């Protein structure tokens, strides 16, 4: 991302959302089934308002359900350690200049052991000093997928020193899902939550 983080955040989030979230009475059984899975997974109270991002995504019921299924699977069933998953998501979010995704996952990443110094290094990327070999390989994979839709042989071999076959497969799945998320949230200009400072989060 070449743009100043504050300017990029303002460009995306200081304008109205481009689509209005669906009202509760406009949701059908497919929406409600996916929302209930999300509520149970995150232990939310019944009746808690749906975030506008999900209300916007609900304009496409089939994609809404599929998107939710994959997102919950990545969070609940991913074979990658939480720290590794969050490194992939953060680097992808930064490269895409995605304020909502970045800000939310800085907070989540802290729950998986990433420090403020780690987050600062994610901004610099795989070339930053201080990464161990596994972290550097994961960040390189995210960068290569973003730039070239490929993982280089040397990076794949470095990942294979630490990851099994299932985990190797899940690296591009996670990165791909969070590219989709960044594209969606940036395109429709998703509003930031109160606790989310966008690309300024550290």
**How confident is the model over 80-114, as pLDDT tens digits?**
999 999 999 999 999 999 999 999 999 999 999 99
| pLDDT score at 143 | 98
pLDDT at 125 over 80: yes
119 token code pair: 């987050």
Given a contact cutoff of 8 angstroms between Cβ atoms, the answer to whether 199 and 5 are in contact is yes
Q: What is the pLDDT of residue 184?
A: 97
Which tokens hold the place of 154?
């040397």
At 172 the pLDDT is 98
Q: How confident is the model at residue 8 (pLDDT cuts 50, 70, 90)?
A: very high
Q: Per-domain residue ranges for the chain?
A: 5-76, 79-200
Average pLDDT over residues 120-124: 97
**Average pLDDT across the chain, whole number:** 93
In CATH terms, the fold of domain 79-200 is: AhpD-like (1.20.1290)
Quote the pLDDT of residue 47.
66
pTM reported for the whole predicted model? 0.94
Between 51 and 63, residue with greater pLDDT: 63
Residue 94 confidence (pLDDT): 98
pLDDT, position 32:
81
Range with lowest mean pLDDT among 3-7, 30-34, 195-199: 30-34
Position 36 scores a pLDDT of 81
How many angstroms separate the Cα of 151 from the Cα of each of 56, 92, 137? Answer: 33, 14, 10
Contact partners, residue 20, CB within 8 Å, separation at least 6: 56
Return the exposure string of 133-142: e unless at least 16 CB atoms fall within 10 Å of the residue's CB, then b: ebbbbbbbbb
124 — pLDDT class (breaks 50, 70, 90):
very high
């Amino acid at each position: 991302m070449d743009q100043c983080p504050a300017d990029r955040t303002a460009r995306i989030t200081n304008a109205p959302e481009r689509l209005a979230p669906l009202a509760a009475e406009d949701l059908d059984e497919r929406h409600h089934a996916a929302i209930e899975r999300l509520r149970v997974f995150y232990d939310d109270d019944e009746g808690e308002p749906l975030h506008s991002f999900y209300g916007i995504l609900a304009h496409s019921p089939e994609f809404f359900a599929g998107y939710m299924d994959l997102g919950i699977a990545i969070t609940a069933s991913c074979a990658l350690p939480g720290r590794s998953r969050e490194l992939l998501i953060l680097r992808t979010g930064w490269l895409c200049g995605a304020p909502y995704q970045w800000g939310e996952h800085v907070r989540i990443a802290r729950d998986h052991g990433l420090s403020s110094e780690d987050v600062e290094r994610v901004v610099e990327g795989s070339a930053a000093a201080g990464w161990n070999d596994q972290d550097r390989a994961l960040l390189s994979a995210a960068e290569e997928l973003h730039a070239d839709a490929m993982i280089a042989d040397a990076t794949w071999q470095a990942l294979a020193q630490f990851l099994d076959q299932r985990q190797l497969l899940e690296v591009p799945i996670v990165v791909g899902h969070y590219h989709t998320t960044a594209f969606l949230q940036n395109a429709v200009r998703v509003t930031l939550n109160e606790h989310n400072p966008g690309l300024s989060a550290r």
